[in-house]
Amino acid sequence: MKPIISVQDLKKKYGKFEAVKGITFEVYEGEIFGLLGPNGAGKSTTLEIIETLRDKSSGKIIVDGHDLDTDAEKIKKIIGVQLQAAGFYPGLNLLELIELFCGLYNTKIDAYELLEMVNLKDKAKNKFKEMSGGQKQRFSIATTLINKPKIIFLDEPTTGLDPQARRNLWDLIQNIRTEGTTVIITTHYMDEAEYLCERVAIMDEGKIIAIESPDKLIDDLVASGFERPKVTKSANLEDVFIQLTGKDFREE
């Protein structure tokens, strides 16, 4: 496993408050890496520092061989960062928005091919504001790919989406990884992390308290004697919802 991101003893203070308290971890090339933890744990702060969008207080960060302290510009060129939906001009259509991004990155891309990848080809001429929540999220993930990054950062990409839109996004994120891009994702949905992530780091109050594959974390918990209250039904309400409203990946 070759590390593509290496974080050493990262600390971040906002005034007197230490939001990140000396964390150390690596992300391997080609994996989907999850950063989990309750609100306020320090996940977004950590991501934004690696994305070069926020200053750190101390620590060392290497991204694909580039030191953040001396080569932030080189790091910017090889990463894709998801904008919050509010960052898009609502009145432009998808083709116009892609063109805008190509200008910003000083690159060219086949816009239809990109839209095809996120299943939005037939919405190319639709305005951003006319799309559903899931479509907006798929589009914003597409825009992270415009500069053909080695690594993309997704901060809670599925928050607020309905079950099918969430599954659509899982499919997309797996496809992006299959193309060779490393993915770092935060999520509050543990089923999502279990489904998508090779490894997860669990953060709490600015510290990493576990880092492992979901499978190993679950096995360790079971080995410690943990037992779930007995499951009495072999389906849950989400299964009902998906059965009633259509197949897993139905188009919105």
Binding site for ligand ADP (CB under 6 A): 14, 19, 37, 39-45
List the single partner that 123 binds among Mg ion, ligand ADP, none, CB under 5 to 8 Å by kind: none
Closest CB to ligand ADP among residues 39, 84: 39
Shortest distance (Å) from residue 187 CB to Mg ion: 10
Closest CB to Mg ion among residues 44, 158: 44
CA atoms within 13 A on the CB side of 126: 13
Burial (CB < 10 A; 0-12, 13-18, 19+), residue 229, is exposed
Give whole-number Cα distances, 71 to 13, 121, 231, in Å.
22, 36, 52
Give dist(CA 93, CA 142) in Å, integer.
14
Choice from 37, 44, 114, 166 touching Mg ion (CB under 5 A): 44
How are beta strands 17-28 and 79-81 bridged, if at all?
A: unpaired
Shortest distance (Å) from residue 40 CB to ligand ADP: 4
Closest CB to Mg ion among residues 32, 94: 32
If one asks whether residue 45 binds Mg ion (CB under 5 A), the answer comes out as: no
Shortest distance (Å) from residue 14 CB to ligand ADP: 3
For 73, residues 6+ apart whose C-beta sits below 8 A from its C-beta are none
